[in-house]
Amino acid sequence: MNIGVSVPNIGPVATPEAVKTVAQRAEALGYHSLWTVERLLWPVNPRSPYPATPDGSLPEEYKYCLDPLDTLTFAAADTSTIKLSTSVLDIPYYNPVMLARRLTTIDVLSKGRLRVGFGLGWSPDEMEATGADMKVRGARADEFLQLLKTIWTNDPVEFHGKFFNVPKSYIGPKPVQKPHPPIFVAAFAPPALKRLAAFADGWNPTGIPISGMVQMFDAIRQMAKDAGRDPSELRMIVRGNMFLTEKPIEKDRFIFTGSIQQIHDDIGACEQIGAEEVCLELGFTPGGQSLDNWLKWLEEFRP
């Protein structure tokens, strides 16, 4: 199974030197991919709790965020083979025509190494800041993915929908990868799973127990079959939000938390259920803002 690793684009560790060093070391050690994460705001008085912490507070690291795509472009210039991935870009914040050009540029300049992970976002504060409408984000995302794929595969391009319209035009260049860079969706709710099954190349789950991933991926494949697609072509890349502890966690343990051996066990369990890859997020575990620790963990979890 392939192993990917986050590149430091969040928090004080996110420096030009750290991005370059981690990218080059990961490639040299045989990691399959580099990943960036997106966070736009650290609201002083958030209107909605952060879903990934027990008390709903945002990690302090989110006060400092390098753009995920610009970071990948920077990393691409210092590497030659490792894949470049997002986990995830929040669809409501973007215009698909402008984003298609940015993504295509990365794919062309990296000679076909881009993979794109998308999500819907959850923060009302970020939605407001970007002019997004929380109420229509699902319907807009359906159209967004269709238009993105149309831009990448049609020449000339023409699209007329409820949210987006593109007059018959040539939009080039096209991505190096054919028919387009792989699209992965982080989805949990039934409508989002249905969207994934209809439009994406794979699933990018996080924080879900092994048994839950099995059940949900079976459901996704059935949805893909119902949509007239070959379910066997859907892939699963698991994002492992690592939280290391010195001693093993004996009970009530979340996936990718605990001792180094427990993290290795989780990687193995993901392989057993058919995941194509595990991407390890290193920046939010204790010590995750130290470049020395990143390099130590790269050695520990090397493929």
Tens digits of per-residue pLDDT, 212-225?
999 999 999 999 99
What residues contact residue 252 under an 8 Å CB cut-off, 6+ apart? none
| pLDDT tier at 167, thresholds 50, 70, 90 | very high
Task: Quote the Cα angle for 64-68-70, to 5°.
Answer: 105
Residue whose pair of structure tokens reads 């295509």 in the numeric block: 104
Asked if pLDDT for residue 237 goes beyond 90, the answer is yes
For every residue of 148-196, which 3-state class applies, written as one string? Answer: HHHHHHCCCEEEECCCCEEEEECCCCCCCCCCCCCEEECCCCHHHHHHH
The answer to whether residue 52 scores a pLDDT higher than 90 is no
Tell the residue number behind the tokens 């387009």, with chain if given: 180
Q: What is the predicted pLDDT for the residue at 174?
A: 98
Question: Does the structure show a pLDDT above 90 at 21?
Answer: yes
Strand 89-90 with 33-36, pairing:
unpaired
- Number of neighbours of residue 179 by Cβ within 10 angstroms: 9
With 90 as the cut, is the pLDDT of residue 202 above it? yes
Average pLDDT, the chain: 97
Helix, strand, coil shares of the chain, percent, nearest 5, are 40, 20, 40
Domains of the chain: 2-300 (3.20.20.30)
Going by the DSSP 8-state scheme, the letter that residue 280 receives in this structure is E
Q: Looking at the DSSP assignment, which residues form a beta bridge with residue 10?
A: 65
Output the six-digit token pair for 38.
């997106």
Instruction: Give the Cα separation of 185 and 168 in Å (integer).
Output: 28
pLDDT of residue 54: 82
The gap from C-alpha 82 to its chain's centroid, in whole angstroms, comes to: 15
CA atoms within 13 A on the CB side of 206: 19
Distance CA 240, CA 70 (A): 23
CA distance 274 to 176: 28
Q: Residue 199 — φ and ψ, nearest 5°?
A: -125, -20
Whether 29 shows a pLDDT value over 90: the answer reads yes
Quote the pLDDT of residue 289.
97
**pLDDT (tens digit per residue) in 186-199:** 999 999 999 999 99
DSSP-assigned letter for residue 257: E
pLDDT value at 53 more than 90: no
Residue 230 has pLDDT above 90, yes or no: yes
> Distance (Å, rounded) from C-alpha 266 to C-alpha 248?
13
Give the percent of the chain with pLDDT over 90. 98
pLDDT bin (cut points 50, 70, 90) of residue 170 is very high
pTM of the full structure: 0.95
Instruction: With a cut of 90, say whether residue 51 has pLDDT above it.
Output: no
* pLDDT digit string, tens, across residues 100-126: 999 999 999 999 999 999 999 999 999
For residue range 64-101, what is the model confidence (pLDDT) as tens digits?
Answer: 999 999 999 999 999 999 999 999 999 999 999 999 99
